[in-house]
Amino acid sequence: MRVYVSLFGAFRQYHSEDHIEIDVIEGARIADLRHTLEAYGQAHWPAFRAGLLRVSSFASDTTLLRDGDFVPTGGRIAILPPVSGG
């Protein structure tokens, strides 16, 4: 299944566009997507920091997703790194 991943915050520095499209198996969970993104980042983004991915959240158009949740049908996800400030 092809997943459209919107990139926000620090992830925007890694890629020339505001999203990537990546393949995961049918029935993949968010943890599977996280693992696939880590491998992609290590292979394609020289400045990639896996620790940032590990502490980032994932969301569909309507809800925050946990590692045990299935990747939504339609495969549109946002990756949300932690933020600070006020």
Evaluate if residue 85 carries a pLDDT over 60: no
Q: pTM higher than 0.85 for the full model? A: yes
Per-residue pLDDT reduced to its tens digit, 26-39: 999 999 999 999 99
What domains can you pick out in the chain, each with its CATH number? 2-80 (3.10.20.30)
First vs last C-alpha separation in the chain: 38
CA gap 25, 35 in Å, rounded? 12
Distance (Å) of CA 78 to CA 24, 52, 70: 15, 14, 14
Evaluate if residue 49 carries a pLDDT over 70: yes
- Sheet with 2-7, strands from edge to edge, namely 19-23, 2-7, 76-80, 57-59, 64-65
